[in-house]
Amino acid sequence: MRCLAVCHTELVIRLLEAVLTPNAELDVLVESRALARHFESSELPVSVANPTKVDSYVRAGLSPVTPVFVEDNGRKGLRKVLEALRGAGGTLIYVLGTSLADVRRTEELRDDFPEVTTLTLAELMGPPLLTELGRSVTRQRVQQYQRYMADADRVLILTHNDPDPDAMASGLALRTILRRTRQTAVIGCLQPVTRPENLRMVKLLDLKIETVTPEQFKDFDKIALVDVQPHYFPGLLPHVDLVIDHHPEQTGYNAIFTDIRPDYGSTCTILTEHLRAVDMDISERTATAMLYAIKSDTLFFNRHANRADLDSFSHLYPLAEATMIRKMEGAEITAERLDYLIKSWQQGRMMEHVFCAFLGEPPRDDFIPYVADFYLQLENVQWTVISGVVNDTFVVSVRNLGYSRNAGDFVRRWFNDIGSAGGHRTMAKAVVPLEAFQKKFGTYEGSRINQRMLELVLEFLHETRDK
Ligand SMILES: [Mn+2]
């Protein structure tokens, strides 16, 4: 491809040469003889011509498929240059400005020259420059905590209970950044992994996630939290050195270093940036875990994800083992989950597009959201409300298709006063001590609990419809 540039400054000519000439031929047209002389010894063909004359472009061999870059030097002549280019048959015209004032001026010409594309050096250079600057800030921060943790004998990387892929992969990533081994940096939690797909990840990647007790915290010289913040462990942590998390920022704790970014889809995204900032090699196993974590925490970019998540994903992708991720994702339906799907289908109730079922006392609470997600896929179902009792706690998961009332409002409406209740428009959860549930709703018998839940949803939906 051949390109033509109409320029006034050496910098812009050199810039275009550096960017374009590996792939394209570049001819440069300048008005000033003095400027042309700067390129006498270079291989770049720079010729002197009047850029406001049609003839100049005809002689330069301009065709409708030649991209033309016009440097806007802020002088009045731009309109004449564009008219001459058009007169010579040019159609692929890019005006290159340096300032916002240039953009405004070119925009005034837009009505007369709709075919012209406006670019500024600021927007061309800005994104990579800002990324680089951001990386330097991150680099400083990472180097600080690397130094601070360096002389500790043993570090505890603590995650939330029942660690999910993001928590576990963040542990691996942080261990890499701290240049430590399994022995000198323990990834730990108070309650171990239970969900089948997470256990599968542990097995396939040979992860060692240790269950620790609060009494053991003092055996570690330094404690780092990933994918969780100290308020999750009220009164249990003697001190916290480092917190890296993407959940909403909590107050009321002291940590030496924190990096909390609630607008990120996963903690692994933050840690990918840390690893990149200090040019750390990421092993295939760690990259695989982190890629899987970003995928699962963002529901493959279906839930809260931003540019940084996409960027980290594409950085990790070539480093990870794709077949391993397919294995980790594996079959979602296990025999025991199928039991609960069948049970809820036989005992559940469907009314006004709401599917409501009580699972009794499942051995783990993940059966409840699983069943709620599953039945939302069923034809004609718009809401699912699935409940069960786990360790004397009444747990309810609510899902809807997103175009009706807010699921979070529903659980807060009925359960906020007796337990914890919260969530978003399409998914919400409430966890209530069984005793408190019975006291407020006066029942604990399977089919009646379910009947009561169905009444609560319908009442909620009707009261909002009447408003
Ligand atoms: Mn997470």
Across the chain, mean pLDDT equals 92
Question: What is the whole-number distance in angstroms between the Cα of residue 246 and the centre of ligand 1?
Answer: 6
Residue holding tokens 């005034």?
108
Question: What's the CATH number for 335-466?
Answer: 3.10.310.30
Confidence at 444, pLDDT banded by 50, 70, 90 = low
DSSP string, 243-289: EEE-SPPP-S--EEEEEE-TTSS-HHHHHHHHHHHTT----HHHHHH
Residue holding tokens 């009925």?
414
Position 415 pLDDT exceeds 80: yes
Position 210 pLDDT exceeds 90: yes
Taking only the tens place, the pLDDT of each residue in 334-391 is: 899 999 999 999 999 999 999 999 999 999 888 999 999 999 999 999 999 999 999 9
Question: What is the whole-number distance in angstroms between the Cα of residue 156 and the centre of ligand 1?
Answer: 18
* Domain 2-115 coded CATH 3.40.50.720: yes
Could you tell me the CATH superfamily of domain 132-329? Answer: inorganic pyrophosphatase (n-terminal core) (3.90.1640.10)
Question: What is the whole-number distance in angstroms between the Cα of residue 210 and the centre of ligand 1?
Answer: 19
Question: What is the whole-number distance in angstroms between the Cα of residue 227 and the centre of ligand 1?
Answer: 5
Taking only the tens place, the pLDDT of each residue in 243-278 is: 999 998 988 888 999 999 999 999 999 999 999 999
How confident is the model over 293-305, as a mean pLDDT? 81
Confidence (pLDDT) at 464: 60
Q: What phi and psi values does residue 397 have, to the nearest 5 degrees?
A: -110, 135
The token pair that represents 281 in the structure block: 């090699």
Confidence at 466, pLDDT banded by 50, 70, 90 = low
Confidence (pLDDT) at 274: 98
Q: DSSP secondary-structure letter at 66? A: -
Question: What is the whole-number distance in angstroms between the Cα of residue 235 and the centre of ligand 1?
Answer: 23
- Alpha carbon distance 141, 124 (integer Å): 28
How confident is the model over 399-405, as a mean pLDDT? 86
Question: What is the whole-number distance in angstroms between the Cα of residue 95 and the centre of ligand 1?
Answer: 44
Question: What is the whole-number distance in angstroms between the Cα of residue 340 and the centre of ligand 1?
Answer: 27
Question: What is the whole-number distance in angstroms between the Cα of residue 293 and the centre of ligand 1?
Answer: 8
Position 467 pLDDT exceeds 70: no
Question: What is the whole-number distance in angstroms between the Cα of residue 450 and the centre of ligand 1?
Answer: 32
Confidence at 7, pLDDT banded by 50, 70, 90 = very high
Question: What is the whole-number distance in angstroms between the Cα of residue 106 and the centre of ligand 1?
Answer: 46
Residue 137 Cα distances to 254, 276, 277, 394, angstroms: 22, 12, 9, 46
- Alpha carbon distance 120, 102 (integer Å): 8
- Alpha carbon distance 320, 247 (integer Å): 25
Confidence (pLDDT) at 340: 96
Taking only the tens place, the pLDDT of each residue in 30-51 is: 999 999 999 999 999 999 999 9
How confident is the model over 286-300, as a mean pLDDT? 92
Residue holding tokens 């092993």?
283
Cβ atoms < 10 Å from Cβ of 80: 13
Confidence (pLDDT) at 213: 97
Question: What is the whole-number distance in angstroms between the Cα of residue 430 and the centre of ligand 1?
Answer: 20
HSE value, Cβ hemisphere, 13 Å, CA-based, for 156? 24
The token pair that represents 465 in the structure block: 């419809």
Question: What is the whole-number distance in angstroms between the Cα of residue 415 and the centre of ligand 1?
Answer: 25
Confidence (pLDDT) at 283: 97
Position 69 pLDDT exceeds 90: yes
Is there a contact between 397 and 368 (Cβ–Cβ < 8 Å)? yes
Question: What is the whole-number distance in angstroms between the Cα of residue 297 and the centre of ligand 1?
Answer: 6
Q: Which amino acid is at 298?
A: T
Higher pLDDT: 223 or 111? It is 223
Question: What is the whole-number distance in angstroms between the Cα of residue 372 and the centre of ligand 1?
Answer: 21
Question: What is the whole-number distance in angstroms between the Cα of residue 234 and the centre of ligand 1?
Answer: 20
Confidence (pLDDT) at 154: 96
Position 124 pLDDT exceeds 90: no
Q: How many helical (H) and strand (E) elements, i.e. helices and strands, does the chain have?
A: 17, 18
Question: What is the whole-number distance in angstroms between the Cα of residue 232 and the centre of ligand 1?
Answer: 14
Question: What is the whole-number distance in angstroms between the Cα of residue 216 and the centre of ligand 1?
Answer: 25
How confident is the model over 229-236, as a mean pLDDT? 92
Domain ranges across the chain: 2-115, 132-329, 335-466
Tally the residues of the chain: 467
Domains 2-115 and 335-466 share a fold: no
Give the chain's end-to-end CA distance (angstroms, integer). 64
